[in-house]
Amino acid sequence: MGHAPLLMIVLAAGKGTRMNSALPKVMHKIAGRSMLGHVLALSGQSETRSVAVVVGPDMDAVATEAVAHVPSAQIFVQHYQRGTADAVLAAREALQNHSGDVMILYGDTPLLQPETLTYLTAALDAGAHVAVLGFRAKDPTGYGRLLTDSRGDLQAIREHKDASDDERQIDLCNSGVIAFRVPRLAELLSRIGNDNAKGEFYLTDAVALAREDGLRCVVVACDENEVLGVNARDQLATAESIWQTRQRAALMRDGVTMIAPDTVWLSYDTKIGCDVIIEPNVFIGPGVTIEDGVEILANCYIVGAHISAGARVGPFARLRPGAKLGTNVHVGNFVEVKNSDMASGSKANHLAYVGDGSVGAGANIGAGTIFCNYDGFTKHRTTIGEGAFIGSNSSLVAPVKIGAGAYVGSGSVITKDVSPGALALERCEQEERPGWAEKFRIMMSRRKAKS
């Protein structure tokens, strides 16, 4: 049975005053992506036909973020915060132009799973007109309670401040996420009043009105963590922890070994192949792909990098955006790679900076080597040919090319291209003065004694 076309309305107008931030609440990030971005990603993982995002006044950044994730998203402004029903009705135009199901989501619930939205639409397919996502709360204080009848159907949602003492004993709580299969939904929502403790127009009152109209309302249950709403920094940290734990487990099920999983940090778009071993204290930022059989040793920081099969990185390595490591490349301790490609079998095993360069297959970058890529105004590239050997403590002043199979002597400052197979040296002649050290010590000791 096919689903009706789905309009997803994401409410993102909250100021998030408890975040104590100049940044709108939904713009704060979980795993390198804004909370709003996490929610909008669900539209691409479901049968969503169209997306509307409700923002507050002067929230251009939120609108821009929404369109960045869903270019076709319609943006609506809730000019005054008068409750969730009022927020949904800010998107009245989208509601009136849509024929099909409507799902209301919130921009500060980044842990929702796509299969949960599938369960909600499945409830509509099974005959419900309204499906509310609920959860069993460990501490229900402050949550709206879901009141059900003897059949288990939903009768009403009672906000905590309006609930009786008996109703407050109920632990089945409202997440705020609701799916509707109601013709002329805007008309139903327009009937909602604000006769309540807060004087607001609650979307939750739509349930009682739908029941009055003879429409069936049901509850779809999910785990409490999945609908965690983030209103403060501690909740942001909790959501990050839950997301990371969930994603680590998924990767380990798929064949990734993590020696100390709780110390590995992933991003929303991290891609890791099979038989990858990750040691403790590794941070992986956005834009990272790690192919099969890679070893990431302890204490590495990786962002915007592609690591090909069989490579070994670390310990204490940093891969910055644009780093591309070929198969079986070795990048060792205290090596930084930025905007550079290292071809198969090349090595930079310790204490090197490889920036804006290309390193040929099998080349070796000695300890202390620096790609001098920046002249204060412009970045320049260094190219190292296949099988070249760069001696320790060398400075390669870009733009410069080291030919295939060439050698650069240790301690050299290379400012000109080096021919294939050649040896390049740039050193002052070494001078030795016999007995100088002892004379120097005596002189300095006498000076010290006088002072």
Residues identified as active-site: 350
Burial class from Cβ neighbours inside 10 Å (0-12, 13-18, 19+) for residue 360 reads buried
Pairing of strands 217-221, 413-414: unpaired
- DSSP for 280-348? SSEEE-SS-EE-TT-EE-SS-EE-S-EE-TT-EE-SS-EE-TT-EE-TT-EEEEEEEEES-EE-TT-EE
Q: What angle do CA 272, 274, 277 make, to 5 degrees?
A: 75
Amino acid at 130: V
CA–CA separation, 142 and 19 (whole Å): 19
CB contact at 8 A, 258 and 45: no
> How far is residue 326 from each of residues 49, 254, 293, 309, 381, measured CA to CA in Å?
41, 23, 12, 7, 18
> How far is residue 148 from each of residues 132, 158, 188, 358, measured CA to CA in Å?
12, 11, 21, 66
Q: Which long-range contacts (CB under 8 A, 24 or more apart) does 376-379 make?
A: 379/339, 379/355
